[in-house]
Amino acid sequence: MRKHLLALALASVSTLALAAPFQNGSFETGTLNNTGSFDTLATGSTAITGWTVIGDGIDYMGAAWTAAAGLRSIDTLSCGVSGGVSQTFDTVAGGTYVVSLALAGNPDGGVKTLVASAAGATANFTFNTAGRSGSNMGWTTVSFAFIATGSSTTLSLLGGVQGGGNSCAGAAIDSVSVTQISGPAAVPLGGGLGGAALIAAATWLGLRRRQRQG
């Protein structure tokens, strides 16, 4: 019994330590043929590892401008009204997650928009490219939270221009991350045991004390 409870505690701790298996947030892994500039990717493309292109397509950026991290980033709008990327990853129903990303805009001009959505939650962001350039993108960090409703969640990031209309210069994104901050199988902020692991560990320690006293 004691060994069983210890195994349960350790297994629970192992489960708690698992982060959401979200991948390639900085878009560094993928097929980019024109590393000196950019590749245009149509909707449905999976050339960027872990991601699927949605909407009216995107530009997968190489050295055309300075990325927020690494060497690659995304212009969420190739040419059209709205374009972007999506990724589906494992979640725990009832868990609260925070999505964080670096936001800028194609410096060709104008105010860019970004709509981020996951599990029914939506966040709207804007970025003014006035005074920006390829070497001075002005990357800023934005974030939003969602509560997972199932064992997997799809994050969608769609960019365009303020006021709508056709454009070939959208919001720029990089350094996307997803972190579970609370809920079932979540690691409490600051670390430590929680939930089932804490109960199992406490029960196991209580049995050890009673056996030693007996």
116, β-bridge pairs:
123, 157
Q: Domain boundaries in the chain? A: 1-17+187-214, 22-185
Fold of 22-185: Jelly Rolls (2.60.120)
Q: Determine how β-strand 121-128 pairs with β-strand 111-118.
A: antiparallel
Nearest to 54 by CA among 115, 122, 143: 115
**Integer angstrom CA distances of residue 18 from 96, 155, 180:** 14, 19, 10
Give the model confidence (pLDDT) of 24-67 as tens digits.
999 999 999 999 999 999 999 999 999 999 999 999 999 999 99
Give the model confidence (pLDDT) of 104-148 as tens digits.
999 998 999 999 999 999 999 999 999 999 999 999 999 999 999
pTM score: 0.78
Are 98 and 144 in contact, with CB atoms under 8 Å apart?
Answer: yes
Are 40 and 29 in contact, with CB atoms under 8 Å apart?
Answer: no
* 77 vs 190, residue with greater confidence: 77
pLDDT for the residue 148: 97
Q: Is 193 helix (H, G, I), strand (E, B) or coil?
A: coil
* Nearest-5° Cα angle at 103, 96 to 108: 155
